[in-house]
Amino acid sequence: MYTCSLARLQNKIDTFKTFGDTGTGGITRLSLSQEALAAREEFVKRCKAMGMQVKTDDMANLYATLPGGEDLPGFVMGSHLDSVINGGNYDGVLGVLTAMEVAETIWTEKIRTRRPVTVMVWTNEEGSRFEPAMMSSGVVTGKFDKARALASTDGKGVRFEDALEASGYKGAAENRLGAQGYAGYFELHIEQGPVLEMENKDIGVVEGVVGMVNYTVTVKGVSDHAGTTPQKTRKDALYAASQLILLLWARLSKLDPELVFTTGKIHVSPNIHTVIPKLVEFSLDARHKDPNVIAQAVEVIRNLPETLSGCQISAAENWGRKTVLFDAGYVNAVEEAAKEAGYSYRRIYSGAGHDAQYVADILPATMIFVPSVGGHSHCVEEFTPTEACLNGANVMLNAILATDKL
């Protein structure tokens, strides 16, 4: 069994956390910003120092490749360098850094692989600057319309297409990830949740990405004066919405202990302290690996009362996704690598979306999770000890080497 270098991986983590450093322990490195471009420049410099061939596609996705010994489709490992605003130093970027470390181990140890090994950087995974999230993997795999992606604008009115042209990383469409040139895809990521830490597991063997639905629930009442309208005559949309949220929690909680659901966005109108709210819109996000449980959650949403406390109720679906199952052979390869290394592990599903879920439609794919301390992510508290990161890199390296022999 081969092992990666703790010192080299620590150097990578320490270097890349400087790009977009907020001075508070986290980073803001929005897609195609100067901070993100600086991180890309460092990535390219390090990869070229190992003799890797570097190219880009039409969405500015980066591909750095070590040649293999035979003319065969290659393996690709990847994730993203962009972050959310005031994010942490591990989400996304760790998948790139561990992939670089795997490649560097192959290079320094002169390990002979049959297949080429590519390290990939996806453009605009977070969607924090340009919506939607996972934009480039969505375009490359045919999930999103490229023209709509190019027309996306940031908060300052800058179009993604213009940022793409200005970046210097726009390449050719024929360089895209696809079934012709690649045999399979591995993505390492922090768990972004507390399960591995709670269960004292070193590695999460990711079987897939859970299905989900996202709805907007609308409550329509009547605005009146806050001081002159008797309570018994009010049609207060916020009061009705609060009752609905409690009702949804009560009903959804009975379905399955692994079902997770969230109301994370609420809009109140007219949002004036002296006026009774006439309109409330709130989101409901529900996720589970079993499509039958998701279907039950949808039934709960669709069977909300039509009226409540004198207000009209309606619900509309915004989007959804089916549960994505990763390639069984690749999942087993990850499990065997963890077992061989003597790491504790468990099989797990991802509750968050990742580029790998789209790639799984065009290539065999899987993911590897490492623990998140306290379950924190998308915040400055996000942290995984480098030793734990190294465990994941070792698993990815040996899973790839084992698969390369097949």
CATH, domain range 211-321:
3.30.70.360
**Is the bond into 364 cis (omega within 30 degrees of 0)?**
no
* Tens-digit pLDDT profile for residues 234-262: 999 999 999 999 999 999 999 999 999 99
pLDDT at 135: 97
Question: What separation in angstroms does the CA of 259 have from each of 151, 153, 206, 213, 294?
Answer: 35, 34, 18, 12, 8
pLDDT at 3: 98
Q: Where exactly does CATH 3.40.630.10 map onto the chain?
A: 6-209+323-404
Q: What is the pTM of this model?
A: 0.92
pLDDT at 273: 97
pLDDT at 260: 97
DSSP annotation of 326: P
* Segment-wise mean pLDDT, segments of 10 residues, the chain, 406 residues: 97 98 96 98 98 98 98 98 97 98 98 98 97 97 97 97 98 96 97 98 98 98 97 97 98 97 97 98 97 98 98 96 97 98 98 96 98 97 98 98 96
pLDDT at 205: 98
Written as one letter, the residue type at 276 is: I
* Residue in the block written with tokens 């990535």: 43
pLDDT at 2: 96
Q: Where exactly does CATH 3.30.70.360 map onto the chain?
A: 211-321
Q: d(Cα 139, Cα 136) in Å, to the nearest integer?
A: 5
pLDDT at 85: 96
Q: d(Cα 160, Cα 60) in Å, to the nearest integer?
A: 11
Burial class from Cβ neighbours inside 10 Å (0-12, 13-18, 19+) for residue 292 reads exposed
pLDDT at 142: 96
CATH class of 6-209+323-404: alpha beta
pLDDT at 115: 98
- The torsion defined by the Cα of 246, 247, 251 and 254, in degrees rounded to 10, comes to 30
